[in-house]
Amino acid sequence: MPDREAIERARRDKRQGKSASTQAGEFIREEIHHIREGKHGARSAKQAIAIGLSEARRAGVDLPPPRKGSISEKTRKSAQREHARGREASHHETSSKRSQATLGALKREGHRAASHTGLSRQAHSAASRRTAGERSASAQKAARTRAARSS
C-alpha cells in the first residue's frame, strides 16, 4: 500500500501537467526508500521499479500497460489488470493471506537492489538499450523544459 505522501506528490505532479511516468516516479521513489530503510528487499533494481509502477497503476495513475511484444505476455496482462483496477471507482482490498505472503517473500530478498551501484547499473543498462538518437532527443527535450522552467 503506497504512503499517503506519495499519492499526494503524484497528484501534485498531475495538477502541474506532468506526464504519467513522472507521476509514477513518486511511487518508485517511495519503493526505493522502503528497501533502503529495511521494510523489505528486492531481487533487483528492475523489480523495485516494477513494484513502484504496479502501485502507481493501482493508485489510479494513467500509466498504460506496455505494448505487445515489448515484454512478456504475463507481465503485460498483469499491468492491464492493475491499470483497470486503478480506473475503477471502488477498490477492493487484497486478501491478507496474499499480502502477507508477498511481503514475506520480499523480506527474504536483499537490499542491494536500492543501492547507488544497483540503481546506476540499471540506469546504464536501460540507456544502452536506446539508440544514440533517442538518448540525444531525450537530453534536448530535458534541456528545453529546464530552460522553460527557469525563465
Mean pLDDT taken over the chain = 90
The answer to whether residue 46 sits within a structural domain is yes
pLDDT at residue 151 above 60?
Answer: no
What's the pLDDT score for residue 150? 61
Domain encompassing residue 93: 4-114
The answer to whether residue 90 sits within a structural domain is yes
How many whole angstroms separate alpha carbon 102 and alpha carbon 51? 11
Res. 88 pLDDT band, cuts 50 70 90: confident
Query: Ranked by mean pLDDT, which of 16-25, 59-68, 94-103, 115-124 comes out on top?
Result: 115-124
The answer to whether residue 141 sits within a structural domain is no
Helix intervals (H) in the chain: 4-15, 20-36, 45-58, 73-87, 96-107, 116-128, 132-150
Closest by Cα among 114, 17, 18, 14 to 59: 14
The answer to whether residue 54 sits within a structural domain is yes
The answer to whether residue 21 sits within a structural domain is yes
The answer to whether residue 119 sits within a structural domain is no
| 8 Å CB contact between 121 and 45 | yes
Q: Comparing 94 with 65, which gets the higher pLDDT?
A: 65
What's the pLDDT score for residue 77? 93
The answer to whether residue 126 sits within a structural domain is no
pLDDT at residue 11 above 70?
Answer: yes
Residues 6+ apart with CB under 8 A from 18: none
| 8 Å CB contact between 100 and 115 | no
| 8 Å CB contact between 20 and 43 | no
The answer to whether residue 146 sits within a structural domain is no
Which pTM was predicted? Answer: 0.83
What mean pLDDT comes out for the span 82-103? 85
How many structural domains compose the chain?
1
